[in-house]
Amino acid sequence: MDCRVVSVHFDSRHLFVDLADGRAVQFPLDRFPVLRAATTAERGHFAISLDRQQLYWPELDEEMNITALFQSSRDRTQH
């Protein structure tokens, strides 16, 4: 599985992570209180690390590790 991030976008209830292998994976915004409370402009201003494994929203001081995000999602579905 190629978990390198290409882009990120949102709707009113989800965070969508577009991956290098063509998948778009969605996560409920309820899992990310800082992003849920952010404005559309704040959500739209993000950076992707050079290795494409980290996301960062500078105005929100919010950082996300993609590998950890997928691991926590698997852990949630196993319960």
Comparing CA positions, the residue from 6, 27, 32 lying closest to residue 18 is 6
pLDDT digits (tens, 9 = 90+) for 40-77: 999 999 999 999 999 999 999 999 999 888 888 765 54
Domains of the chain, by residue range, sit at 5-77
Long-range Cβ pairs for the range 61-65 (8 Å, 24+): 62/32, 62/34, 62/35, 64/32
pTM above 0.75? Answer: yes
AA identity, residue 57: W
Residue 79 CA neighbour count, 13 Å, CB half = 5
pLDDT digits (tens, 9 = 90+) for 24-43: 899 999 999 999 999 999 99
CATH number for the segment(s) 5-77? 3.30.2020.40
- Decide if 53 contacts 67 (C-beta within 8 A): yes
**The pair of three-digit structure tokens given for residue 21, joined into one six-digit string:** 């292998």
